[in-house]
Amino acid sequence: MMAIQSLRTNDCVDEVVDKYANMVYRLALAQMKNKHDAEDLFQEVFLRYISKPRTFESEEHRKAWLIRVTINRGRSLWTAWFRKNEPLDESLVAETKVDIENDLSEYLALLPQKYRPVIHLFYYEDMSVREISAMLDAQESTVRTWLTRARSILGEKLRGGPPNE
């Protein structure tokens, strides 16, 4: 199979997708709460990457762009979803099991949407508070507050037992 050539800096799109696919998918899953929406977000991020020619200063710049687009598009999709949909009846929610890859992902999915990217970037991508602050265009103190609040919520959830009980 012939690789698609990017218009950016002679990068092969296939190589970029191979290199960053896991990172983008994990971040999309952390934001979207289920596999199907995460896959849609994943595809949209790489479609945006392919569709508009852009030049990156470094691999870190490319990685930051992919993270930023994943977070922004995830937020947009959530906002659009909540505007177009009515909340489910609580009895229906109790009967529905969200398809998440592992137990920790289930707990992360219980976090408010604004905390999920911060937790993901800090723990899964090993980014510092300073890097997350720059990535999300938030003050470092705000990022630390979000991390503290998310940890507190996760602690309460973990002490309360498995999320599906």
Share of the chain above pLDDT 90, in %: 16
Find the helix or strand (DSSP H, E) in which 45 lies.
Answer: helix 35-51
Provide the domain count of the chain: 1
Count other C-beta atoms under 10 Å from residue 100's C-beta.
20
User: Which of 49, 96, 44 is closest to 75 using CA atoms?
Assistant: 44
User: Which of 17, 75, 83 is closest to 48 using CA atoms?
Assistant: 17
- Average pLDDT estimate for 101-106: 57
CA 48 and chain centroid, separation: 16
Report yes or no on 165 lying in a domain: no
Model confidence over 10-61: pLDDT tens digits? 458 888 989 999 999 998 888 887 888 888 899 999 988 988 778 888 999 9
Report yes or no on 101 lying in a domain: yes
Report yes or no on 94 lying in a domain: yes
Report yes or no on 8 lying in a domain: no
User: Contact, 130 vs 119, CB < 8 A?
Assistant: no
Report yes or no on 88 lying in a domain: yes
The CATH number covering residue 112 comes to: 1.20.140.160
- By residue range, what is the domain housing residue 97? 13-159
Instruction: Strands of the chain (E only): list them.
Output: none
Model confidence over 47-70: pLDDT tens digits? 889 887 788 889 999 999 999 999
Report yes or no on 1 lying in a domain: no
